Each structure stands twice: as C-alpha cells, then as structure tokens.
C-alpha cells in the first residue's frame, strides 16, 4: 500500500454553472476506477475543498468511461459574473482535486 | 452509401479564435458549421455593450467570422448556425447582411430567431402565475426583481430547424442551449421526429462535444497535454453523424491537436450535472451508457447515448446588478516576499477600516502562491522569489470600488520594502448576479419568431 496523489493517476476537467462547479474525474482503467469509487467519496471531496466550497457535494458515477462527476454547490463566490476571486469560472477546481492523496495497493500500480 | 452529415465547430465562446473553423471550412468537407458564442458570463458582457449603444448586444466578432466564412457558404454550400445574437439577435442579423452585401452575396438568406428575451415581460409573467423562484434555492425573485438587467429563456433546436426549412443559409439566434446549433441540422437533414429521443439525445451530445471548440481536440487537456501536437494551430472538432445518431469525432489533418478517447471523455462531463439527466429543451440526455472507442488516428466513435422525453419547462437565466468590484495588484520581491505582501495586506485592511470604506467583501490572494487554489494551496516550503498581492473588494457603488486603488501607491514609500510592478488602474467592474428559474415552455414557444431575409432585398 502506498499513498499516491490523484495528480499521478487521473484526468480532470472542471467548469461552472451559476454558483456551482462540476469536476469530471477520470480513471485510467477499471482497477483505478474501483479505488476511486471507494476513496474519492463526496464526503471526502467536500472535506478536501473546505474553505473554498460552502455547499453540498454530490458524486455521480459513469462506469462506461471510468469516470465520476462531482457537483460542488456554493463554490464560486456567487458565480462567474459576480465572483471577486481570480479563478471566477472554477477552471482550476479540477487541478485542486488532483492534490488529493489516496491509498493504492502495490498490485494496482500507477 | 449511407448518408452522413458532417458538422464542424466554429467557436466555443465570444472571442474564441476563428482560424480553426476556417480550416474546417476549407478542408473538412462539412455541411454545417455551428457556433456557440454564449457563456453565462457573455450575456453580462453583451448587456454592458448594449447599455452603451442600443445597436450592440451581440458578439461583435460575428463581423470577422462572417467575413471569413461566408465565402464558403457560397463556394461549398456550408450553412452557418450561430447564437451570436446574444441579447440583440436582430442587430446581429443586420450585421451579417451588411457583411454579405459587402461580399456581393445578394442571394444569401439570413434568418433570425427571436423570442428568448423576456426582460420586458417579467411583471406580466409573474401576474400570469410564473413564479421565477430560483430553480436551485427556491428563493423568491422579489429580492432581485428591481435590479434585473436581462432575462433570457434557453431555446432548443426547433426554431433553427424551421429556419433551415425556410431555406436559410445562415441562422442567427439569441440565447439557445449551447448544443441547439449542432442538433438542428440533424433534425432537418434526417427528419427526426420530436419524439425520436435516442437520436435527439445523440445529437445533443454531439453538440456538447463540439460546443467548446478545442476542448475535444486537445485543448485544456489534463492528460498527456505535453504530447498534443501543434497546439499553436489546434484544430476544432468535426462530427460525422449518421441517421441513427451514432457519430465519429475527428478534425482536419491540416491543423494540430489530438482526438482520442482521453480528450473526448474530458469534454463529455464538462459543465454537466447529473449524467443520467442532462436536461435540454429538446430532450433529456442520459450519458451513463455512452461508449467511446478509438477507431483510427484522430477518430473517436461515440455510441450508446440514450434520450428521455423533453421537459415541460424551459430554463431562464437572468442577470441582476450586484454591485462593483475594485482590484489591485502589487508585487513584492525576495527575500520574504510572501511576508511582505501579507504585511501590505494587513496595512491596507487597517486603512480601509480607518477611512470607513464600506466593502461587502475584501478578498486577498497572492499570485504565485494561492490565487488559483485559495485555502487549498500549501504554504510554500521555500522563500518565493516574488509574489503579487492581489486585493479585490465588492462594494455597492463604483466610487467605493475605485477607492481601493488609491490606497496603494503610498505603500512604496510607507510600507514593507522592495515593492514593484503596481497595477492600480484596473478599471472597476460591474458585477452581475445570475438568477436561474423555470418557465412553462408554451409561454416562450408561443412567442418565438423566425424571420428569413434575403440579402439583396433586405431594407
């Protein structure tokens, strides 16, 4: 078992809709998808984004492409055209998720 | 041979480069080129234009994109579909006609779709029983009603299909869903019925993959982004769709970029909420069974898109005045760059208090450290070479917002040492809050109008 950053094993893309951000998280294969399913939970993502996301976090599963879609509510300081933050459109939220670390068994490998 | 319709993407937002679309027109063997010019934020930008000049309010790069692409309408019969009309689609149509006249294209038919703009009817509609409660929070519209600046319903493909039936070569609309311009040609060409849910869903999904221009062809790609070839001349996606709705995403070889399962899947979920219910005016799309396959170099086959009956209501997005933002940037050098910048932040905050400036919010970040990652950024382990203090304030009035910049210049002599590179003259920005609500579709659809004009006869 070793701790690995999502940065080293996943793809992401994030975007905005109103005051909500979505993050698509993409695993490279079925084994990693299963690891993410167990460890990258909505609760864990909510905790990870503490201080940046004020609302609920929802996770949707899209197993055919080994992906999850995370919905982060109250995440954009009001939304793109009223936010006074630098990343007013949430384009960097995906990168932010890549800072999360998960436990990877040796046999899965990265 | 079975019929295939080829659709190319032209623009993913107001200001996106048009060069890749020109290459698609030249080399892509496409039947249609579709634009998505309108992000949520764009309507706010267009509103500011219209406030200055009543003839504006559309995306002004329509002039250059039409100059570049209209010749291909004539030469190759490519049709152009765009929502560049923003909050003033008729003015956008007139601009297309003006460009066409300049190019001597008298027989060109330019259609405009109107009816999405509800700003002048809000009170009437409320009287008729539309609540306009916020669709996510359920809050009453009363708190923002007096401050509304625009209100547009998202239209689907059907008015564009109608314009094509009436012979339009170019269709200009206002607020449509991002995908409407992409689905419309398929309904028109294949004669899909309004209840062919799976086909319609497939067409919407194709539009979704194309609407953000190069985001399907290697742009903003988080995978092997360093391997994407010729990013400086990236190509835009092209979809080749058959009558069943299945399609292949590709691009022209003359441009760079990458089309692979990995690039396409990133776009698949972009700005989508529930993947089993991506709601559009034409159909509710279910993406949970989608299959993506690499079927050749820069060729990805998409299948398995499912559809469910369209919703009874349309989404309306309204923008309301929400105060002003002032912002300032000031750099600080090594050693102790971050400490100095933090001290400057402390000084400015104290002075804001002493002067009694009333800000609803003061936001501080440090460019080079946490401006993009906020509280998730880790404290740097080594002394940064340099860092920029960025302060932004939210205020009720423009004057208050502008005051922020005046506090900074004295810091050079009266504050922490070795500050440089001051950007104090950044104009204040009007902030617009967004209010999303639902409206029964019949109300909007009954007022949608399609008008097709031939350039030569247009007065």
Q: What is the DSSP string of chain A?
A: -EEEEGGGTEEEEEEEETTEEEEEEEESSHHHHHHHHHHS-HHHHHHHTTTT--S-EEEEEEGGGTEEEEEESS-STT-TTT--SSSTT-TTHHHHHTT-EEEE-TTT--
The residues, ordered by sequence, that sit 6+ positions from B184 with a Cβ below 8 Å of its Cβ are B81, B157, B158, B160, B161, B164, B171
pLDDT score, position B423 = 86
Shortest distance between the Cα of B325 and any Cα of chain A, in A, equals: 7
Q: Are B213 and B255 in contact (CB under 8 A)?
A: no
Q: Are B228 and B199 in contact (CB under 8 A)?
A: no
Closest to B60 measured CA to CA, from B14, B99, B123, B103: B14
Mean pLDDT of A13-22: 96
Q: What percent of chain B lies above the pLDDT cut of 90? A: 96
Mean pLDDT of B185-203: 98
pLDDT at B396 over 80: yes
Closest CB from B40, B262, B270 relative to A81: B40
Interchain proximity B269–A67, CB inside 8 Å: yes
pLDDT at A1 over 80: yes
Shortest distance between the Cα of A67 and any Cα of chain B, in A, equals: 9
pLDDT at A38 over 90: yes
pLDDT score, position B78 = 98
CB distance from A26 to chain B under 8 Å? yes
pLDDT at B181 over 70: yes
Q: Are A27 and A66 in contact (CB under 8 A)?
A: yes
CA end-to-end distance (rounded Å), chain A: 12
What is the value of pTM for the model shown?
A: 0.96
CB distance from A56 to chain B under 8 Å? no
CA distance B247 to B302: 5
Q: Locate the chain A residue with the closest alpha carbon to B215.
A: A13
pLDDT score, position B240 = 98
Total beta-carbon pairs less than 8 A apart between chain A and chain B:
138
Interchain proximity B394–A49, CB inside 8 Å: no
Residues β-bridged to residue A15: A22
CB distance from A81 to chain B under 8 Å? yes
Mean pLDDT of B407-430: 92
Closest to B62 measured CA to CA, from B45, B85, B88, B90: B85
- The label of the residue with tokens 């560049």 reads B84
Give the distance, in angstroms, between the CA of residue B28 and the centroid of all CA atoms in the same chain. Answer: 24
Average pLDDT across chain B, whole number: 96
Residue B1 pLDDT class (50, 70, 90 cuts): low
pLDDT at B111 over 70: yes
Q: Please give the residue that has the higher pLDDT: either B396 or B2.
A: B396
Q: Are B20 and B235 in contact (CB under 8 A)?
A: yes
pLDDT in tens, B55-103: 999 999 999 999 999 999 999 999 999 999 999 999 999 999 999 999 9
Best residue in A18, A84, A96 for a mutation probing chain B (most B CBs within 10 Å): A84
Q: What percent of chain A lies above the pLDDT cut of 90? A: 95
CA distance A61 to B202: 20
CB distance from A90 to chain B under 8 Å? no
CA distance B238 to B25: 10
- Ordered strands of the B306-308 beta sheet: B278-279, B284-286, B306-308
Interchain proximity B375–A95, CB inside 8 Å: no
Taking contacts as CB-CB distances below 8 angstroms, the residues of chain A near B279 are none
pLDDT at B458 over 80: no
Residue B418 pLDDT class (50, 70, 90 cuts): very high
Interchain proximity B223–A11, CB inside 8 Å: yes
pLDDT at B457 over 90: no
- Which structure tokens are listed for B408? 């900074």
Please state the ipTM of this predicted complex.
0.97
Phi, psi of B67 (to 5 degrees): -55, -40
Least reliable range by pLDDT among B2-6, B170-174, B343-347: B2-6
Mean pLDDT of B246-271: 98
Mean pLDDT of B181-189: 98
Q: Locate the chain A residue with the closest alpha carbon to B290.
A: A64
Shortest distance between the Cα of B113 and any Cα of chain A, in A, equals: 25
The residues, ordered by sequence, that sit 6+ positions from B199 with a Cβ below 8 Å of its Cβ are B186, B190, B192, B243, B244, B245, B307
Taking contacts as CB-CB distances below 8 angstroms, the residues of chain B near A77 are 363
């Amino acid at each position: 078992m070793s701790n690995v950053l999502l940065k080293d094993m996943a793809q992401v893309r994030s975007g905005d809709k109103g005051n909500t951000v979505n993050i698509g998280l993409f695993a490279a294969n079925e084994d990693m998808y299963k690891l993410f399913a167990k460890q990258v939970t909505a609760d864990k993502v909510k905790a990870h984004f503490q201080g940046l996301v004020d609302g609920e976090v929802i996770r949707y599963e899209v197993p055919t492409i080994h992906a999850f879609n995370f919905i982060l509510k109250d995440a954009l300081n009001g939304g793109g055209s009223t936010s006074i933050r630098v990343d007013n459109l949430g384009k960097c939220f995906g990168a932010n998720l890549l800072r999360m670390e998960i436990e990877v068994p040796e046999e899965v490998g990265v | 041979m079975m019929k295939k319709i080829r659709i190319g993407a032209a623009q993913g937002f107001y200001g996106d480069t048009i060069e890749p679309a020109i290459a698609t027109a030249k080399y892509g063997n496409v039947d249609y080129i579709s634009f998505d010019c309108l992000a949520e934020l764009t309507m706010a930008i267009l509103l500011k234009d219209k406030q200055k000049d009543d003839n504006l309010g559309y995306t002004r790069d329509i002039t250059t994109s039409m100059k570049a692409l209209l010749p291909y309408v004539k030469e190759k019969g490519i049709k152009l579909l765009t929502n560049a009309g923003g909050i003033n689609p008729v003015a956008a149509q007139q601009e297309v006609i003006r460009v066409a006249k300049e190019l001597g294209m008298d027989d060109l038919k330019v259609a405009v779709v109107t009816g999405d703009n509800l700003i002048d009817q809000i009170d009437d509609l409320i009287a008729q029983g539309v609540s306009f409660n916020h669709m996510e929070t359920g809050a009453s519209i009363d708190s923002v009603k007096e401050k509304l600046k625009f209100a547009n319903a998202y239209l689907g493909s059907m008015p564009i299909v109608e314009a094509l039936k009436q012979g339009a070569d170019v269709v200009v609309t206002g607020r449509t869903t991002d995908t409407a311009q992409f689905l419309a040609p398929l309904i028109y060409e294949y004669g899909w019925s309004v209840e062919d849910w799976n086909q319609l869903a497939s067409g919407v999904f194709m539009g979704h993959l194309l609407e953000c221009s190069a985001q399907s062809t290697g742009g903003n790609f988080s995978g092997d982004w360093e391997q994407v070839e010729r990013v400086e001349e990236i190509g835009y996606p092209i979809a080749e769709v058959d009558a069943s709705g299945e399609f292949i995403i590709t691009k022209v070889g003359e441009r760079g970029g990458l089309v692979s399962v990995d690039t396409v899947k990133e776009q698949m979920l972009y700005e989508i909420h529930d993947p089993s219910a991506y709601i559009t005016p034409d159909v509710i799309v279910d993406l949970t069974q989608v299959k993506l396959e690499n079927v050749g170099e820069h060729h990805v086959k998409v299948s398995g898109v499912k559809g469910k009956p369209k919703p009874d209501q349309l989404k309306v997005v309204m923008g309301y005045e929400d105060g002003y933002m002032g912002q300032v940037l000031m750099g600080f050098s090594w050693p102790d760059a971050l400490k100095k910048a933090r001290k400057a932040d402390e000084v400015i905050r104290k002075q804001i208090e002493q002067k009694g400036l009333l800000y609803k919010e003061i936001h501080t970040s440090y460019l080079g450290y946490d401006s993009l990652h906020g509280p998730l950024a880790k404290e740097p382990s080594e002394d940064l070479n340099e860092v920029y203090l960025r302060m932004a304030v939210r205020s009720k009035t423009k004057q208050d917002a502008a005051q922020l910049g005046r506090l900074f210049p004295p810091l050079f002599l009266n504050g922490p040492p070795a500050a440089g590179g001051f950007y104090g003259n950044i104009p204040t920005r009007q902030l617009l809050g967004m209010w999303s609500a639902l409206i029964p579709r019949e109300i909007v659809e009954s007022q949608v109008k399609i008008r097709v004009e031939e350039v030569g006869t247009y007065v």
